[in-house]
């Protein structure tokens, strides 16, 4: 095995380190965030830093980079308080990745990459029509992370749109049945295969597989 210490990591070329550290944390949820600005221009951007905060209430966070002039997604979320998160499937992975290009404000990534904006009642932000698992959030709090000037943006799930047939009896969602993707590093996308579900683990008893 190779070993690297603090000094070696700090000495790496910037893009090498970004690729390495982004892969080191393991597979990530990767989704498209849909927003709209105060004059009605839709925006779509790929994010891979989504993290489950809690289920009751249903709170979901994502890490936003240090704010620069180019943070259209965050500016829109702050302006409207509403955003959507849409799973990415293998059928439109290239279009999803293309949303990471730095388009000017006022340009719709939906149109540029060839995905379809769709609106549902009471939700101002656009969903991705092609996505089989999508939900809208109401902004709750933006927590600054002073260590590196990033932000933890937390929203509450207020609306869910999903294929009924992938929901198990106990609420578990079989994401593999609609080919939801995960990502690794900053530019790679993976399909998945279910290995096992396990029962709630208890000391002294080997937990059994479900089904």
CB contact burial 144-165 (16+ within 10 A = b; e otherwise): eeeeeebbbbbbbeebebeeee
- Smallest distance, Å, CB 154 to its own copies? 6
Which CB, 116 or 163, lies closer to its own copies? 163
- Smallest distance, Å, CB 36 to its own copies? 20
- Smallest distance, Å, CB 39 to its own copies? 21
For residue 153, list its beta bridge partners.
62, 142
Which CB, 78 or 112, lies closer to its own copies? 112
For the CA atoms of the chain, what is the radius of gyration?
19
- Smallest distance, Å, CB 98 to its own copies? 5
Which CB, 37 or 161, lies closer to its own copies? 161
Which CB, 40 or 204, lies closer to its own copies? 204
Instruction: Please give the structure tokens belonging to residue 32.
Output: 């498209």
Distance in angstroms (rounded) separating the CA atoms of residues 29 and 89: 12
Check: CB of residue 134 under 8 Å from CB of residue 162: yes
């Amino acid at each position: 095995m190779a070993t690297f210490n603090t000094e070696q990591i700090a000495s790496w070329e910037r893009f090498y380190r970004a690729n390495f550290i982004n892969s080191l944390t393991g597979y990530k949820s990767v989704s498209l965030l849909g927003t709209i600005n105060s004059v009605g221009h839709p925006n779509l951007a790929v994010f891979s830093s989504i993290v489950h905060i809690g289920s009751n209430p249903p709170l979901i966070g994502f890490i936003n980079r240090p704010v620069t002039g180019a943070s259209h997604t965050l500016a829109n979320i702050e302006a409207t308080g509403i955003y959507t998160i849409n799973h990415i499937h293998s059928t439109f992975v290239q279009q999803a990745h293309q949303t990471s290009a730095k388009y000017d404000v006022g340009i719709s990534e939906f149109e540029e990459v060839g995905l379809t904006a769709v609106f549902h009642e009471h939700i101002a932000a656009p969903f991705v029509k092609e996505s089989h698992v999508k939900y809208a959030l109401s902004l709750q709090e933006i927590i600054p992370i002073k260590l590196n000037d990033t932000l933890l943006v937390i929203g509450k799930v207020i609306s869910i749109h999903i294929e009924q047939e992938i929901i198990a009896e106990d609420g578990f969602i079989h994401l593999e049945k609609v080919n939801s993707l995960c990502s690794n590093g900053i530019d790679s996308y993976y399909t998945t295969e279910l290995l096992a579900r396990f029962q709630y683990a208890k000391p002294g008893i080997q937990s059994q597989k479900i089904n």
